[in-house]
Amino acid sequence: MPRLTGLTRFFWEGAARRSLLILRCQECGYYTHPPRPVCRSCLSMELAPEEVSGRGAIYMYTVAVTAFHPFWKDKVPYTIAVVELAEQPGLGVTTNIVDCPEKLLRVGLPVEATFVETAPGLTLPMFRPAIRATGPRAASEVVDRSEDSARPAATAGR
Ligand SMILES: [Zn+2]
């Protein structure tokens, strides 16, 4: 169970509300994660948690097949990954990938945040494949949208 220190408390409390919060510099807009008291970009100490989109891509991953702690015994294999968030290049979150067959795993796979209650009162942000962004349904949505935008132009021509 993560320890709730002053600097990381917002992250876990956000997760409990199903919100992915990342520290953001209020001076220059740079995100910093894991939480640090000082902005990596401009050294400002004016950092505040802000909700992010939860979208990103797998930057690196490993599949754990051995449980090193009894807690994980019925959970192997599980996937540990660093997900690069869409908000900023290099903004990585260490997490677990869920709802993803091992054969689908690859660096660069688009993922989205999901919140998993792993124990009573403990909700962790994890990531799953962003199927809606790449699946057939997304393709039809793109077609629908282009038809919508084409319609006013067509009527304007009459
Ligand atoms: Zn800054």
Query: Ligand 1 center to residue 36 CA distance, Å?
Result: 12
d(CA 95, CA 118): 13
23 three-class SS = strand
Amino acid at the residue 60: M
HSE-up (13 A, CA, CB side) for residue 102: 9
Q: What is the pLDDT of residues 22-66, one digit of tens each?
A: 999 999 999 999 999 999 999 999 999 999 999 999 999 999 888
Query: Ligand 1 center to residue 150 CA distance, Å?
Result: 42
Pairing type for strands 47-51 and 55-64 reads: unpaired
Is it the case that residue 152 has pLDDT exceeding 60?
Answer: no
Query: Ligand 1 center to residue 54 CA distance, Å?
Result: 21
Query: Ligand 1 center to residue 107 CA distance, Å?
Result: 29
Strands (E), 12-102: 21-25, 31-32, 47-51, 55-64, 78-85, 92-97
CA separation (Å) from 60 to 47, 93, 94, 109, 151? Answer: 27, 11, 9, 10, 43
Query: According to the model, what pLDDT value does residue 2 have?
Result: 60
- The model carries a pTM of 0.77
Structure tokens at 83: 């997900």
Burial 32-47 (b: 16+ CB within 10 A, else e): bbebeeebeeeeeeeb
Query: According to the model, what pLDDT value does residue 132 have?
Result: 60
Q: What is the pLDDT of residues 105-146, one digit of tens each?
A: 999 999 999 999 988 888 999 999 997 645 444 444 444 444
Query: Ligand 1 center to residue 90 CA distance, Å?
Result: 15
Query: According to the model, what pLDDT value does residue 44 have?
Result: 97
d(CA 55, CA 47): 21
| pLDDT grade for 21, boundaries at 50, 70 and 90 | very high
Pairwise pLDDT comparison (50 vs 149), residue with the higher score: 50
d(CA 104, CA 109): 8
Nearest to 117 by CA among 11, 17, 26, 39: 17
